[in-house]
Amino acid sequence: MIDQPLILVINCGSSSLKFALIEPSQGYCELDGIAENLASPQAIIRWSHHQQEHQKAIADGAHSEAGQGIIELLEKVQLRSRVVAIGHRVVHGGKRFSESVLIDEAVTAAVEACSSLAPLHNPANLVGIEVTTQYFPGLPQVAVFDTAFHQSMTEQAFLYALPLSLYRDHGVRRYGFHGTSFRYVSAQATRQLSLKADDHGLVIAHLGNGASACAVHNGKSVDTTMGLTPLEGLVMGTRSGNIDPGLLLFLHQRCHYSIEEIDSLLNKRSGLLGLSELSNDMRTLEDAADKGNTQADLAIRVFCYQLAKQLAGLMTAIPRCDGLIFTGGIGENSRRVRHETVQHLGSLGWAIDPDANLSNGESNQGKIHQSDSPIIAVIATDEELMIAKDVVTLTNSQQR
């Protein structure tokens, strides 16, 4: 068998660098891993290859040392020469990017310009681009934006009811995130559920550590729960999701919280973690709730109720909802979350089949609904594959 070309997919954070080598035509992952705790004594690269887990300490190594370590690793397993192009997950593309693009100097400058909208993420994504440019000189690189899929939202969906000057002068609006996942899952759902490409509506719930949901009409995002930042919308692992904006004033004026404390409270100490005072991890909470931990149980109930309420809201964004899709670590695996969420939607005609739900939909092409309910399905997301496919499309069009 001829060795197929591989795409290196990079997702660079402020202290971590996730990487995956994807074979895009068959859609399999040859090797994947993460360099984490970067620039600290605990810096380490972990990777998985042929179902075997490996790790290598790179004490005090920063992103550049991680890049060096990844190159050495790829040489050792004889995969480096098969890498033909690189795809980067970039969090914020602002108004400028409505689709993936080949990276050049103008693109990196524009990503930098969007940093004010994602001060933690975009600079880290740029570091990732720098590192791969250093270690893979000459290879084409593509930026794939979390926000791009939602650029099809209209003003009525993306504007906040604030003085319009904030939008005009500072770009204050809803952007939405998880776009690469929604794009992948919506295409999969259309195929798998035999929907008409030009006449269908879906609501997709991407439930991982971060969580958001999206209304899709004929393959295009029309509304989503995340906003200017990923803090808006659903209850998440450590993020609060929707709150009364008046709470910010209350915390500042009455509780004397600083801006930094409010930021940390809402982003890092709220959500499932804040409510349960135990964990941000759904599996841990489900285990604890099963053993009688009432606070873990409460956190899951709030998660499901808020989710159902916002899913029902998104259904108003499309002329008809042909399918409710669950994806992400929680959406693909948590029977309880799907069951409880759909129960809240019973008055709208949604009903889950308990047996199909138990099998995570494996028994029937992902479908987990009762016969008298619209389609409810579990569809696994694959953001890395979506990024790799975009890389192939853009590099092929460049060669033409």
User: What is the C-alpha to C-alpha distance for residues 126 and 107, in angstroms, rounded to an integer?
Assistant: 10
Backbone angles phi, psi at 15, to 5 degrees: -130, 20
Indicate the residue among 65 and 382 with the shorter CB distance to ligand ADP.
382
Sign of CA dihedral 47, 130, 93, 219: negative
Q: How far is the CB of 89 from ligand ADP (least distance, A)?
A: 11
Binding flag, residue 210, ligand ADP (CB under 6 A) = yes
Instruction: Name the DSSP letter for residue 121.
Output: T
Residue 15 burial (C-beta neighbours within 10 Å; 0-12, 13-18, 19+): middle
Sole window of 11-19, 130-138, 204-212, 297-305 interacting with ligand ADP (rule: CB under 6 A): 204-212
Residues 101 and 394: their CA atoms lie apart, in Å, by 7
Query: Minimal distance in Å, beta carbon 212 to ligand ADP?
Result: 10
Mark the segment that binds ligand ADP (CB under 6 A) among 10-18, 203-211, 214-222, 306-314: 203-211
Among 64, 329, 351, 374, binds ligand ADP (CB under 6 A): 329
Q: Return the range that interacts with ligand ADP (CB under 6 A); candidates 42-50, 58-66, 206-214, 369-377.
A: 206-214
| Least gap, CB of 236 to ligand ADP (angstroms) | 9
Stretch that binds ligand ADP, among 51-59, 75-83, 314-322, 323-331 (CB under 6 A): 323-331
Among 93, 233, 323, 328, binds ligand ADP (CB under 6 A): 328
Give 316: exposed, middle or buried? Use CB within 10 Å, 0-12, 13-18, 19+: exposed
With CB atoms as reference, the residue minimizing the distance to ligand ADP is: 329
Q: Which is nearer to ligand ADP, 65 or 286 (CB)?
A: 286
Residues within window 65-104 making contact with ligand ADP, judged by CB under 6 A: none
Distance of CA 377 to the CA centre of its chain: 18
For ligand ADP, the binding residues in 122-151 under the rule CB under 6 A are: none
By rule CB under 6 A, what count of residues binds ligand ADP? 13
Round to whole Å and give the CA distance between 212 and 227.
10
Nearer to ligand ADP, 67 or 237 (CB): 237
Q: Interaction with ligand ADP in 233-262: which residues (CB under 6 A)?
A: 237
Quick one: 285 exposed, middle or buried, by C-beta within 10 A (0-12, 13-18, 19+)? buried
Closest distance between ligand ADP and the C-beta of residue 296, in Å? 12
Task: Tell me which of 212, 333, 341, 373 binds ligand ADP, using CB under 6 A.
Answer: 333
Residues with active-site annotation:
146
Nearest CA among 136, 55, 10 for reference residue 20? 10
| Minimum distance, C-beta of residue 285 to ligand ADP, in the bound complex (Å) | 8
Residue placing its CB nearer to ligand ADP in the complex, 108 or 280: 280
User: Which stretches of the chain are DSSP H helices?
Assistant: 63-76, 105-113, 122-135, 155-158, 164-170, 179-192, 246-253, 259-268, 271-276, 282-290, 294-315, 328-333, 335-344, 354-358, 383-399
**DSSP string covering 149-184, please?**
GGGG--HHHH--SS-HHHHHHH--S---S-HHHHHH
Q: Between 93 and 208, name the residue whose CB sits nearer to ligand ADP.
A: 208
- To the nearest whole angstrom, how small is the minimum distance from the Cβ of residue 210 to ligand ADP? 5
- Tell me which of 238, 240, 270, 334 binds ligand ADP, using CB under 6 A: 334
For the segment 273-292, give every residue that binds ligand ADP (CB under 6 A).
281-283, 286
**Which 8-state DSSP code applies to residue 367?**
B
Q: Are residues 221 and 149 in contact, defined by beta-carbon separation less than 8 angstroms? A: yes
Q: Which is nearer to ligand ADP, 150 or 206 (CB)?
A: 206
- Compare residues 65 and 384 and give the one whose CB is closer to ligand ADP: 384
CB 129 within 8 A of CB 182: no
Residues in contact with ligand ADP by CB under 6 A are 208-210, 237, 281-283, 286, 328-330, 333-334
